[in-house]
Structure 1
């Protein structure tokens, strides 16, 4: 009995001393004079429920990809998106009506006579045929891949999921960007955007894109090429008419 009491007291003393050391060690590692503050991870804002919310407050399985992530991964078309959003897949077909989107391998077999089960939205506007979005994308703010049925907010056609694409909206400051690329196959791309504040509550943003691609092979005899040229321009005007209307 005496040996058992000695052993119990030793165990309790060691546990107490370890807890005290852990409590004392914490300030030394977290408060270092002259050290830079810990970086702020920031908040991811999504619009998966038709309003701007923090990602952690939305009870939906979402893959949210901001503009910086899209630029770093060189996402220029929807075909490039599965590189960083592996749950999304896109299948090409003979024409834009044959394009098929799927999430986790589930999706409608076609969309020429039926509504696609993965609904596509551009700035809140429903795109009935995802093939219409298979051109070059420009001046993107974020892309959200929503997994699972989204019928409550996005309609009965979003039975498998939704692809929510947001472009950059006009801001109250003057800014702009310009980028140029040269690639194999005689590919040349020039895109950019400019944001112009026109007044206290009015702003205009214009984005444009020119891409020339000659292709990797040509048809002998006719001289036909396999490439494609893209031209796109978009203008967005934002006016704050009142506190409740923009």
Structure 2
């Protein structure tokens, strides 16, 4: 679309037919513009932080990204859910923050459940929320939040961050939600906030987490406890990322 618009401007000025040289020039200009936008975006990401200290479950998202960083640094070539799960669990066991936070033990990985999320994340999201112990109002709220997250892929992270922390603030002050409602929602939103940050963080720039599947894993796991939310999100997201890049 940018090339076409640029061509329409150049054509009447030169009063000549479109040549290969003209197209190359347009492409070069367009490439420089895109490059400058990418550089600006990278500089902006360096000044942004995904943290929200107001959310008492903020540590869940932070730990999610720390463990993901450790996994990706290992450059593992695992291709099955069982292999990825085993490695993620090993990394979790070695992480000192997990011990310091004294988190509940992660629920054993259900390989079939993870595969079902990989195959159809949207359906499993609806199922997980519907079958949860949350109140009806909380279920509707979390569903709306997750559906909104689907539309954020091409948004700047600053705008995404503001949307999420505004939502979290509304959840924390909602008198209709039970403590369990808030735990599940705020755990989920923390993982979403941090994982979306990772999507935009150079050098990944959306190469990680191209599917909503990792966040659906987070919802599914959050229903049990924080550590399960982290593990299930990581395993699902890594598996889906592998499928996308293969």
Of Structure 1 and Structure 2, which has the larger fraction of its residues in strand? 1
With the shorter chain as reference, the TM-score category is under 0.3
Of Structure 1 and Structure 2, which has the larger fraction of its residues in helix? 2
Structure 1 length as normaliser, TM-score?
0.25
Larger Cα-atom Rg: 1
Structure 2 length as normaliser, TM-score?
0.25
Kindly indicate whether structure 1 or structure 2 has the higher relative contact order, using CA contacts under 8 Å at least 6 residues apart.
2
